[in-house]
Amino acid sequence: MSTLRTLTADECLALIAPGGVGRIAFTGAHGPAILPVNYRLDDGRIVFRTRTGGAMDDDLRTNIDDLEIVVAFEVDAIDPERQEGWSVLVQGPCRHAAGEPGGSWVEGRDHLITIRPQRVTGRRLEA
């Protein structure tokens, strides 16, 4: 039988610090959306790229200066055989940002988006 333990914000950030694949959740033009992205942590912010003019870019771009849309970002690692793993949820405003090209695993992802964590929560399932 496994136990569920609440993680501190520092433990959560340490788990997601190496980067990798996470999921961004936001309300788009067609309702709630959850999309996988490859991300990295940069100066305490989550950073990833999307395609200019793509669905996420269109849904998160308002053309209102300094408007930040609050999103959720989730990263996890689960081992079903051992029935253990962890899950981290970051909530905070995202915004379009200037930055060097590159960093995406997918060609054509040329637009940088950052998320400033305001609330960081997580849980660890331990055998």
pLDDT in tens, 34-92: 999 999 998 899 999 887 777 676 666 655 556 678 999 999 999 999 889 999 999 99
In a domain, 127, yes or no: no
In a domain, 51, yes or no: yes
Per-residue pLDDT reduced to its tens digit, 88-116: 999 999 887 776 545 555 555 567 888 99
Give residue 81's identity as a one-letter amino acid code.
E
Residue with tokens 């929560």: 121
What pTM was estimated for this model as a whole? 0.84
The domain in which residue 92 lies consists of 3-120
Give the total number of structural domains in the chain.
1
Region at 83 (left for phi over 0; alpha for psi -120 to 50; beta for the rest): left
What's the CATH number where 36 sits? 2.30.110.10
In a domain, 125, yes or no: no
Of 115, 121, 94, the residue nearest 43 (C-alpha): 115
Please give the DSSP secondary-structure letter assigned to residue 118.
S
